[in-house]
Structure 1
């Protein structure tokens, strides 16, 4: 008989759907729409979640299993669970101080938190609060000078893993952001002011922690930029497609683990392996870039189950995971590791400082229960419980 482990979380919010409802009641509409929105008609955003439903697992009730171990080794480090927190831009806009809340909780629970270049805390601050455990996602700058300086700062804080985002040759056309004024340059219109006033706790917390800004990029900005000039800076600084040569240049500079995020096709997968990256994150940017694409989980199935790529690099997933059951499904079809973004923002938006730990424990508890039900001892056994169609 295996021993049972309890993961404590607030029983009033036993699912990600519960956290989402609560978060929506506490975050101003314009900020919640930024978190929720997808590209164009948001069809791919829906597919990201719904396509998990087609993956079925089989239990073996008479199988004798020992103690459950959901830890996973990745890039020379063992993490307590097979998931981490995805990079999201403007996190502090959706809930004040969100990057620090999430980074601290991730470090405490020994899972990776990934800071985005366009999030609202700096490289140095997140390294401090995470005890140097946080990963970093790079939006590739137009100028090599800026790229090199960001890489220098990452080396100085001994960032363990660099993630290079490759799926933003242009910013996605997101209707919710256009209507709310959160495109570039952002606009704080009258409707947004009213929405903020209807969420007083968010307003109080924002005053406590300050107006959110692109903290990592501050050293490269001229002082006193107005919103229009900020938009021009962002467009000037990050307009440009990431290609093989740019990734090779980073591979030559960065000696630690290098991961490419946004891989969905065989062509890009093979190119990644040829470059010598240590891992890829299969992702369609949360359904925020191209509406006519396939779901992240279906892309993962094609790539992870292709024998050409077996053992060549770590294949991870980001997109559509909303429960421990989804985590189990992802591992059953070949994921080595997983990342979630929106669920953790729902948690912080719903429960503030307690929300990050709540969401981590919620995913752990749900995944643990699935492993009990399937009589599994470790994550590597999930593919054997996939029902093949």
Structure 2
């Protein structure tokens, strides 16, 4: 049994145990992958200030995100096709998050449906919405999320048009995978993954098949899905969707101060500073570089969260010190899921928590909610000076 001490350990196992097309789907960005890389390397530029002779007993990582109590300020981000990383992946991740005491966010493009996850869990989870051209389908998703008692809707704003990810095109990514000679050769080395998939009925997009008009199987799904992401979405539509939802609304995909101010105008409960994990606009600033200006502009008026690039508890701590009120992990927990199923998601959360807790103590704090920029050494010009 491998000894797991960090997210990299889980990543290594994930690569061994999951088919290449799904590992690559997780571990890739768009175009040159510049933004994908800088999401993580920019965190490395922030240094920590060690403090000593400070009472470190009685530490707490408890916080709140949109009024919900959390064991640490970390939510599981929405990740499409999670149920292809491991059989029933969304259910397993949601259960691990529930037991740990952090929010789980279910993607519109999940393999397990809203109803599947609701049936398998006890606590409300969050639902992430992509706006589709099929308005009836979009309204149906919102109604289904309400019926499942989802406690927040995460509206993704940065995927009106799909960014190109070279690996997905070269791998012929589909869910389930097409059984080509190349795919069969890859699957022959992943027996555990294959047996898990044979043991579940959930192998395609459960929120779409059987719910979108005319989409009854994998064959009709492909023709329906082409061009469904709605490029016409604007702030007026965001406001209408907020009113239709009627509950807590988190807007994900904010990188610009002007957009943060627009989110404030429409009455969002929180925004997520995110570049979709470097999977959309390649060449955009990393999330952690974008955070300071947005905090300065709206941080005292709306809850600001951060997503993209977090691979450790130290990254979580740095984001909180820079002003975020919550963070999201995507790849970090997917590596755990692909490596070890539900146990792996739990292990990823334990790793993140331990790293954050110990680092916080060594920086002279024992309450995550009181951590500020005093624990950081921030390079001059970190946010960038641009003409």
TM-score, normalisation: structure 2: 0.93
Q: Which residue of 2 aligns with 1:198?
A: 189
Instruction: Using the TM superposition, give the Cα deviation of residue 183 of structure 1 relative to its aligned residue in structure 2, in angstroms.
Output: 6.6
Give me the whole-angstrom Cα distance separating, in 1, the residues matched to 2:175 and 2:89.
Answer: 22
Given that residues 322 and 343 in structure 1 are in contact (C-alpha distance below 8 angstroms), is that contact kept between their aligned partners in structure 2?
yes
Q: Partner residue of 1:387?
A: 377
CA distance in 2, matches of 1:294, 1:222: 40
Shift in Å, 1:302? 2.3
Mapped partners of 2:62, 2:204: distance in 1: 35
Q: Give the drift of 1:187.
A: 4.8
Find the counterpart in structure 1 of residue 301 from structure 2.
312
Does the Cα contact within 8 Å between 2:176 and 2:203 map onto a contact in 1? Answer: no
Query: Structure 2 unaligned runs (5+)?
Result: 380-387
Deviation at 1:286, TM superposition (A): 0.7
Change over 3 Å in CA distance of 1:386–1:275 after alignment to 2: same
Residue 97 of structure 1 corresponds to 88
Q: CA deviation at 1:11?
A: 7.2
How big is each residue's C-alpha offset from its partner over 1:252-294, in whole Å with a ceiling of 9 and x where there is no partner?
1222110111010011101000111000111111111111111
Q: How does 1:79-94 map to 2 (within 5 A)?
A: 79-94=70-85
Instruction: Please give the per-residue CA displacement for 1:108-136, whole angstroms capped at 9, x wherever unaligned.
Output: 11100000000111111212223142100
After superposing the two structures, state which structure 1 stretch, 184-193 or 320-329, moved more. 184-193
Cα deviation for residue 65 of structure 1 reads 4.3
Select 1:168's aligned residue among 159, 163, 168: 159
| 1:355 maps onto 2:344 in alignment | yes
2:161 counterpart SS class: coil
CA distance change for structure 1 residues 350 and 123 in 2, over 3 Å: closer, same or farther?
same
Q: Is the Cα–Cα contact under 8 Å of residues 332 and 385 in structure 1 kept in the other structure?
A: yes
Q: Deviation per CA, 1:127-179, whole angstroms, max 9, x where unpaired? A: 22231421000011213322222111111121101000000121111110010
Q: CA RMSD in A?
A: 1.9
CA distance 1:377–1:265, shift in 2 (3 Å): same
Structure 1 pair 388–174 and aligned structure 2 pair: CA distance change class (3 A): closer
CA contact 2:7–2:312 (8 Å) conserved in 1: yes
Structure-2 change in CA distance of 1:223 and 1:292 (3 Å): closer
Q: Deviations over 1:345-374 (max 9, x none)?
A: 111111123111111111111111112211
1: CA distance between counterparts of 2:49 and 2:82?
Answer: 38
User: For structure 1, which segment, 156-165 or 231-240, has the greater mean C-alpha deviation from structure 2 after superposition?
Assistant: 231-240
Question: What is the SS of the residue equivalent to 2:253?
Answer: strand
Counterpart Cα distance in 2 of 1:226 and 1:209: 16
**Contact 2:83/2:89 (8 A) holds in 1:** yes
Matched, 1:150 2:128: no
Q: After the TM superposition, which parts of structure 1 deviate over 6 Å for at least 4 consecutive aligned residues?
A: 183-186
What does 1:152-301 correspond to in 2, within 5 Å?
152-182=143-173, 187-210=178-201, 212-218=203-209, 219-222=211-214, 224-227=216-219, 229-301=220-292
* Residue 78 (structure 1) aligned with residue 69 (structure 2): yes
- SS of the residue 2:252 aligns to: strand
Q: Could you tell me whether the CA contact under 8 Å between 1:174 and 1:288 is conserved in 2?
A: yes
Equivalent of 2:129 in 138, 147, 153: 138
Match of 2:50 in 1: 59
**Cα displacement (A) at 1:58:** 1.1
CA-to-aligned-CA distance 1:18-39 (integer Å, 9 cap, x gap): 1111110101111111111210
> C-alpha separation between the residues in 1 aligned to 2:123 and 2:376?
37
Change (3 A) 1:59 1:285: same
**Matched residue SS, 1:217:** coil
Name structure 1 gaps, 5 residues minimum. Answer: 1-9
SS in 1 for 2:261: helix
Answer whether contact 1:314 1:336 (CA < 8 A) is retained.
yes
What's the counterpart of residue 382 of structure 2? none
Separation in 1, partners of 2:174, 2:115: 27
Is the counterpart of residue 114 in structure 1 residue 105 in structure 2?
yes
Q: May I ask how many residue pairs the two structures share in their alignment?
A: 377
Give the secondary structure class of the aligned counterpart of 1:12.
coil
Q: 2 CA distance for matches of 1:185 and 1:209? A: 12
